[in-house]
Amino acid sequence: MRLLLCLFLVAAFHLPAQDAPPALTEYMGRQIAMTMHWKGAEWLMRRVRDREEATTLMRKELRVKPGMVVCDMGCGNGYHTLPLAEMVGATGKVYAVDVQPEMIQMLKANMESKGVTNIVPINSLYHDPKLPPNTCDMILMVDVYHEFSHPVQMLAGMRAALKPDGLLVLAEYRAEDESVPIKPEHKMSKAQINKEMNANGFKLVREFDGLPWQHLMFFGKADAK
């Protein structure tokens, strides 16, 4: 009897959370990358990042304005979240979403040390961004989309969270460029990004090709006017 109970507990522990769809390892011919572990978060804040990735230029190209509601999806410890909060100002808001509670904790500590109050941290699920519907002017994903184990569910959730004319923005390391010093599964080609976005109700509306390592691509809802 005791053995049976133990077996049940072990089995129950290994069952996926109820109603969580299965995680994918591949999507539309692309290998999905492993989630970057929170223990590596220091790398996201490295001093040379702006020089390597032109992150200030990238944020300028977003054309974020005061009063906007922006989501930093897969925010990590908040490297982009804090400057975005400054860009939207006191009348705007930034939803900072991440699946790893440790990342959200680090973000909160960074918010507190800088006295920032217009960021709403959200500890999400791998298949559910947990964003309120029809609220976001922009959802930004910097080095994040290629890690999604549930790309279809995540894209549907973000689509629902965007306003009708809202934009989904991807910054992804360029797969077409061998000189970008990043592992292949953490890179994406423009063709692959377009294929996956088009299959999930998004159309390309703008792109910026001036970053040293990444594509920066802006998608609107395919049925938007």
Ligand X SMILES: C[S@@+](CC[C@H](N)C(=O)[O-])C[C@H]1O[C@@H](n2cnc3c(N)ncnc32)[C@H](O)[C@@H]1O
Interface with ligand X, residue 57, by CB under 6 A:
no
Joined tokens for residue 189: 């080609």
Distance in angstroms (rounded) separating the CA atoms of residues 161 and 122: 14
∠ CA 211-127-20, rounded to 5°:
160
Candidates 61, 137, 143, 196; binder of ligand X (CB under 6 A) is: 143
Joined tokens for residue 83: 């400057």
Interface with ligand X, residue 76, by CB under 6 A:
yes
Candidates 32, 97, 193, 216; binder of ligand X (CB under 6 A) is: 97
Interface with ligand X, residue 70, by CB under 6 A:
no
Helix, strand and coil in the chain, % to nearest 5: 35, 25, 40
64 vs 142 by CB, closer to ligand X: 142
Interface with ligand X, residue 74, by CB under 6 A:
yes
Candidates 61, 98, 137, 196; binder of ligand X (CB under 6 A) is: 98
Interface with ligand X, residue 153, by CB under 6 A:
no
Candidates 75, 168, 170, 193; binder of ligand X (CB under 6 A) is: 75
9 vs 199 by CB, closer to ligand X: 199
Cα distances (Å, whole numbers) of residue 145 to 169, 185, 198: 10, 11, 15
Farthest CA pair distance, the chain? 66
Interface with ligand X, residue 119, by CB under 6 A:
no
